[in-house]
Chains A and B, each alone.
Chain A
Amino acid sequence: AIRMTQSPSSLSASTGDRVTITCRASQGVSSYLAWYQQKPGKAPKLLIYAASTLQSGVPSRFSGSTSGTDFTLTISRLQSEDFATYYCQQYYNHPRTFGQGTKVEIK
């Protein structure tokens, strides 16, 4: 199975900050990578797919990029509603695998 490793596991930030989360795949997944946001007690929400394509309705402050097997989720200016846990997921092959999550907390 492809291992997806996110870093950091958690971070503290303030509203207005620029936040970057990294996800590294243990082998190539091309651009078959998605990012999800999950708030406590809620289902995950798709933010980005194909590594850098913004899902419809997702604010443009979210962006995704890739460099080889490293993927990055960037929130350009953190808003209060962005405090949540973020997961990456590869859909290159089975089994589909998720990163362990990055919790974004209020500083």
Chain B
Amino acid sequence: EVQLVESGGGLVQPGGSLRLSCAASGFTVSNNYLSWVRQAPGRGLEWVSVIYSGDSTYYADSVKGRFTISRDNSKNTLYLQMNSLRAEDTAVYYCARGGLGPYDYWGQGTLVTVSS
């Protein structure tokens, strides 16, 4: 059974950093496209980043230069390193399988709150 479990969210001050993790099971992260999608409170879905199976990465303009997507194949885990966090980064962050095509599996989400 495919599962994605996010962790690492929490409260952080503006300008701070946080690393989100997404542990995958039921499939291998190394040969799949994986993405991060976020949802601000009461708002719609916003694509954040994708990592391709060949390690190419893409980012939304709103996070480019501040966020880094990566994966650890030995741990079958996806990461999102978030630096220079802003209030507008406050959201539930979902990891999802997919990125070239649609997102067929999603994690349960982890809440990131950026506030002083």
Nearest-Cβ distance from residue A27 to partner chain B, whole angstroms? 17
Closest to A45 in B: B106
Chain B residues contacting A95 (CB-CB under 8 Å) are 47, 58, 60-61
Chain A residues contacting B107 (CB-CB under 8 Å) are 43
Chain A residues contacting B46 (CB-CB under 8 Å) are 98
User: Which residue in B58, B61, B103 is a CB contact (below 8 Å) of A46?
Assistant: B103
Given known A-B contacts A94-B58, A95-B58, A95-B61, A44 and B103 have beta carbons under 8 A apart:
yes
User: Which residue in A94, A96, A100 is a CB contact (below 8 Å) of B44?
Assistant: A100
Q: Say what secondary structure dominates the interface of chain B.
A: loop
* B26 interface contact, C-beta 8 A: no
Bound Cα distance A98, B103 (Å): 12
Nearest-Cβ distance from residue A54 to partner chain B, whole angstroms? 12
The answer to whether A97 touches B47 (Cβ under 8 A) is yes
* B32 interface contact, C-beta 8 A: no
The answer to whether B45 touches A98 (Cβ under 8 A) is yes
Closest to A56 in B: B104
Bound Cα distance A26, B5 (Å): 34
Chain A residues contacting B45 (CB-CB under 8 Å) are 36, 38, 44, 87, 89, 98, 101
* B67 interface contact, C-beta 8 A: no
* A104 interface contact, C-beta 8 A: no
The answer to whether A99 touches B44 (Cβ under 8 A) is yes
* Residues of A in contact with B (beta carbons under 8 Å apart): 32, 34, 36, 38, 42-46, 49, 55, 87, 89, 91, 94-101
